[in-house]
Amino acid sequence: MPPPDHSNVVSITHLRQTCRSCSLRELCLPLGLDNDDMQKLEDIVHSRGPIRPGEHLFREGDSFHALYAVKTGALKTYTIDNQGREHVLGFHLGGELVGLDGIHSGHNRCNAVALQNATVCAVPFSRLEQLSREVPGLQAQILRVMSREISASAQLATEHSADERLAGFLLSLSRRFRRRGLVANLITLPMPRRDIASHLRLATETVSRLFARFQEEGLVAVRRRDVEILDLPALEKLGEALDLDGDGRSRRSPQTR
């Protein structure tokens, strides 16, 4: 069942953006840049918004010309398969990039739609490529972000059972909330159960039942979209903790070699 076609792709006033004063500069492309280099980045970036819930930032098949960094709100990316079913590929919160999968083919490979009121920065890709040649720190950050995305999808692939997947999902959100300076154990889910289910390849009912079970077992307290993590270690035991900002050893016991 394809989702309702809310509206066409958003097209809003383009405003200059100042990375230097952005609260997300430590998680986003500017990470590691000095003031001068950050200004060069600002010069190619445009702010866009607001995008209303249900409005699309881009659609599958559109020609690719920019990456988008989420400033506020949240987006999801999804595809529609040849049988008309929707598959949620991922969720994008403040400081995260959308559209990386479009680079190689020159066309966007998924749809990106706002879950809440959102604002984003558009980064024209050809100018970003050019600038990243001049600014090594920027080039390094782009590669890091893409590499992290590859790691993260490998992570999702290793979680087999339904409870592992939901636990891993909650941990991932928690970590991303913490990165943004929010309380890590108080999550407000920006998406409905249906989208969580689609992303984790589960039925909505299963997600609902798992939330109930996790609550019974004292792992979390759930009320609608609000989730409080009560027993982090137990959750981590279920869905492996993959700390994508760590040193790559967090998942293994100390090695003896």
The residue ranges that bind DNA (CB under 7 A) are: 160-163, 192-194, 201-209, 211-212, 222-225
Residues 6+ apart with CB under 8 A from 125: 64, 65, 66, 67, 103
* 31 contact choice in its own copies, DNA, none (CB below 5 to 8 Å, kind-dependent): none
Intra-chain end-to-end CA distance of the chain, in Å: 52
* 136 contact choice in its own copies, DNA, none (CB below 5 to 8 Å, kind-dependent): its own copies
Structure-token match 């998942």, residue found: 251
* 207 contact choice in its own copies, DNA, none (CB below 5 to 8 Å, kind-dependent): DNA
Closest CA to 88 of 200, 177, 210: 200
Of 108-116, 171-179, 212-220, 227-235: span binding its own copies (CB under 8 A) = 108-116
The distance of closest approach from Cβ of residue 160 to its own copies in the complex, given in angstroms and rounded to an integer, is 6
User: Residue from 133, 223, 224, 233 that binds its own copies (CB under 8 A)?
Assistant: 133
Q: Up-side HSE of residue 95: CA atoms within 13 Å toward CB? A: 17
Q: What angle do CA 187, 114, 209 make, to 5 degrees?
A: 45
Contacting residues toward its own copies, per CB under 8 A: 60-61, 64, 79-82, 87, 89-90, 100-110, 129, 132-133, 136, 139-140, 142-151, 153-154, 156-158, 160, 201, 237, 240, 244-249, 251-252, 255
